[in-house]
Amino acid sequence: MNPFDDDDISFRVLSNAEGQFSLWPATLDVPAGWAVRHGPAEKAACLEFITVHWTDMRPRRAAASPPDAA
């Protein structure tokens, strides 16, 4: 079974330098460029953390850029 589809294992919430979040199985190594923000915890708790804390889906540099004057 794909570990990302397994609701019975622990997960972590990771984030990168752009402020993007990822749900990540706790059994897998954290990839380079990502840091643990939450967990390990149940999948539902990690998804709730992402819902509460990742409110702007744009990468940080896009969110910080002024809108184009077109």
- At residue 63 the predicted structure's pLDDT band, cuts being 50, 70 and 90, is low
**34, pLDDT greater than 80:** yes
Stretch among 1-5, 22-26, 27-31, 34-38 having the lowest mean pLDDT? 1-5
Write down the number of H helices and E strands in the chain: 2, 3
Question: Cis peptide leading into 40, omega within 30 of 0?
Answer: yes
> By percentage, how much of the chain surpasses pLDDT 70?
89
Give pTM, 2 decimals: 0.83
Q: Which CATH number fits domain 3-56: 3.40.50.300, 3.20.20.120, 3.40.50.10300, 3.90.820.10?
A: 3.90.820.10
Q: Which residue has the tokens 């969110």?
A: 63
Q: What is the pLDDT of residue 64?
A: 65
